[in-house]
Each structure stands twice: as structure tokens, then as C-alpha cells.
Amino acid sequence: MMKNLLAILFVGLISFGSFAQEKVAKIEFKTDVIDYGTIEKGSDGVRVFEFTNTGNAPLVISNVKSTCGCTVPKKPKDPIMPGETGEIEVKYDTKRVNPIRKTITVYSNAETPTVALKIKGLVVDSAKTSVLEKKSKSMLEQ
């Protein structure tokens, strides 16, 4: 009799445990790469990574870091509730004329605690044409 009662209690505990789901935040980005394309020196360097908390617990973004000082990311201050969206704003310093290849790392309490986002593109200065362009123009004029 006692054995049966213990067996029933044990089975009851196991099945109860499977019903109790753990609450987790999940971060899902619309895209993890933003391509600036070719942009002019000094143009607007602000872009936005949108994400959704697809989990069942509040999402807290603890930190957002960039690989260099030329890229300044901004994180949401408040927790993102389940099903809600948020954004991480990235401001690239477009005074630097060069290819853009930067990584922004997002740290949170999500199931995936670190996510790498990337920005890419090329900043050009049309006021300063390259030496090759000047040479080919002068050859055409002759």
C-alpha cells in the first residue's frame, strides 16, 4: 500500500515539474547586419537595429559595446516586456573616410546572452576625387 502511494506521489511530482516552464527572455533581431552602402563624408551616421522579446520574461539589455570609438551604440534603459519591440541605435562617425566594418555586441539576460551585430559600408568624400580620377580627366581633356 505504501509503495503504491509513493509511486503515485513520485509520478505526480514528475508530471507537475514538466508543467512548470522556466521564464526566459529571448531577443530576436529583424536583421543583424546594417549596410550603410556608399555614403558621403559628414552624412547622417545613425542607424537602428530593431528587436523583439519573443520570450516570456522581461528582457533587460545590460550593455552594448562597439569595437571602436567611431561607433556609439545606445541601449534601451527599461526592460522590454514579452512580445514588445525595442531598438538599439548605432551612430557611426561619418567624418572618417574609409570602409565601415564594425561589430556591436549586445549583452542581456536573454537565452542567448550575447549577440553580435554588424555595420558595414563605405564613407567617401566627393570633394576630394582620387588621383586616378584626376589623371583620367586630364587625359580626356588633351
* Integer CA distances (angstroms), 114 to 29, 59, 64, 142, in order: 12, 13, 9, 59
Alpha helices in 20-130 (DSSP H): none
Look at residues 92, 124, 118, 88 and name the one whose alpha carbon lies nearest to residue 104: 118
What number does CATH give the domain 27-122? 2.60.40.10
Local confidence band at 127 (pLDDT 50, 70, 90 cut-offs): confident
Domain boundaries of the chain, sorted by first residue: 27-122
Say what the pLDDT of residue 21 is: 63
Burial level of 64, CB count in 10 A (0-12/13-18/19+)?
Answer: buried
| Helix (H), strand (E), coil (C) string for 87-109 | EEEEEECCCCCCEEEEEEEEEEC
Amino acid at 1: M
Rg (CA), the chain: 26
- Average pLDDT on 62-86 reads 94
Report pLDDT digits (tens) over 31-46. 999 999 999 999 999 9
Region of 35 please: left (phi>0), alpha (psi -120 to 50) or beta: beta
Amino acid at 4: N
Write down the mean pLDDT value for the chain. 84
Local confidence band at 2 (pLDDT 50, 70, 90 cut-offs): low
- Average pLDDT on 93-111 reads 95
Local confidence band at 69 (pLDDT 50, 70, 90 cut-offs): confident
- Average pLDDT on 9-16 reads 52
What pTM does this model have?
A: 0.75
Is residue 19 predicted with pLDDT exceeding 80? no
